[in-house]
Structure formats: structure tokens, C-alpha cells
Amino acid sequence: MNAPTNNLVSALLTDLYQLTMTYAHWKCGKHEEPGVFELFFRKNPFGGEFTIFCGLDECLKYLESFSFSAEDIEYLKSTPSLSHAEPGFFEYLASLNTQQLAVRAMKEGSIAFPRVPLLIIEAPLGLGQLLETALLNLVNYPSLIATNAARMAMRAAPAPCIEFGLRRAQGPDGAMSASKYSYVGGFVATSNVQAGATFHIPIAGTHAHAYVQAFSSLEEVKSETLLNKTINTQEAF
């Protein structure tokens, strides 16, 4: 089984109301009724004319590994919103898997447009309800990053674009996603070494201000040379 790249992606990565709605479906006997869920967006980001669909790989890993652990169930029982739910509901959650689920999707990296489904899930109503939040999370940010990267790469062409966002990203998770999906969007490399190792993306870099400030004058480096990769010769520093 392929687990999601981020170990925080689990059955609990959902909004509370998805669970309370599923409980209502279960109470009404509707949880096993067939449902079709379409994931789409209403407008292109950045006032643009297109969106690059991304995140499908992580969605499929999430769906393949989806299940509630015994610890998950105990936690849900302890929450105020579900503490009075009938025991049978928790037995239902514990038994859930995605064997009855069918997925149709655009190809990863495809150009997409508003209100056209990116992902279609066919599943029993209760299960499909529980998947919604995580799937949106796994698609929205990657698609935003890839779309922005594509716009930058097209504007910069023929010069290449390299992603350097690690130090300003929204935490390690945001940084890894930005590196991965910038590459999908047309960037040629990342400065993020961990992303290079994890996703097999080329890594590249220059140097920081701290390196320049470590020298007080050009006299300190006048005898040094650097390799000019364009013409493969050593040149004065």
C-alpha cells in the first residue's frame, strides 16, 4: 500500500461537520446509498485563464490507505460532538474501506477550467462525505502552486525558473508541496534538498548574503577561480 507522503494525511484529516453529517446519514439509513461527488473550482486563480490540475497522486494514496484506526475511534468517542453517538456508528466507521469506491480524474498536470470536474468519486454516501475535505486539501494548494509556476515559467521563457521558496514557505509541508508542484508547473529545479531526494527533482542554488559578508574585500579572493560551466573554463573569482 502506498501511504501519503505526509503522515498527517489520514481519515481524521477532515472537518468535524463531515463526521456529524455522516452520522446523520447513518441515523437515517442513507449512508449506503450510492453517491457521486465532483471536485471542481469556480474561478481560475490570479485572474488567469487556466489552472493546472495537481495533487492526484496524493489523492490516490489517501484513498488507498483510508481507514479509521482503533485510536481514531477512541478519540472520536471522546469529542463533545460525538460522545453521545450510538455505538453502532463507531462500528460502521471502523469497518470503512474504499473497496466500493470508483475514481475518475483528469490526468495530473492537465490544463483545467472552472466548473469542469477535476475528480469524480462514486461511493456510498457516508464514505464519500468523509473524503471531501481531505481531497480538496490535497488538490487546491498543489493546483495553485503549479498554476503560478506555469505562469512564471511562460513569462520567463526561454530563461529557466528555479524554486527557492523553502525558507518562506508555510512550514515544512508547504515547502515540500511548493517544490514538488512548481516542478510540475514548469520550473526546472528546486533549492530544497529534501524535495530533491523525496521527489527526484533536480536541485540547484547560488549563495546567501552570509557567504558574501564572510569576506571583507575582493583582495581575499583575488587568487581564487571559479568554473564557468558554459565554456568549461576556470575564471577569476
The three grid cell numbers given for residue 24, joined into one nine-digit string = 446523520
C-beta separation of 175 from 192 below 8 A: yes
For residue 84, the tally of other CB atoms under 10 A from its CB is 7
The three grid cell numbers given for residue 120, joined into one nine-digit string = 469524480
The three grid cell numbers given for residue 114, joined into one nine-digit string = 472552472
Spatial CB neighbours of 109, under 8 Å, sequence gap ≥ 6: 52, 53, 54, 146, 184
Give the integer Cα–Cα distance in Å for 2 and 7: 12
Picking from 84, 82, 111, 102, the residue whose alpha carbon sits closest to that of residue 35 is: 102
pLDDT of residue 139: 97
pLDDT tens sequence for the chain (237 residues): 688 999 999 999 999 999 999 999 999 999 999 999 999 999 999 899 999 999 999 999 999 999 999 999 999 999 999 999 999 999 999 999 999 899 999 999 999 999 999 999 999 999 999 999 999 999 999 999 999 999 999 999 999 999 999 999 999 999 999 999 999 999 999 999 999 999 999 999 988 899 889 988 888 888 888 888 888 888 876
Residue 158 preceded by cis peptide, ω within 30? yes
> Which H or E element spans position 119?
strand 119-124
pLDDT of residue 207: 87
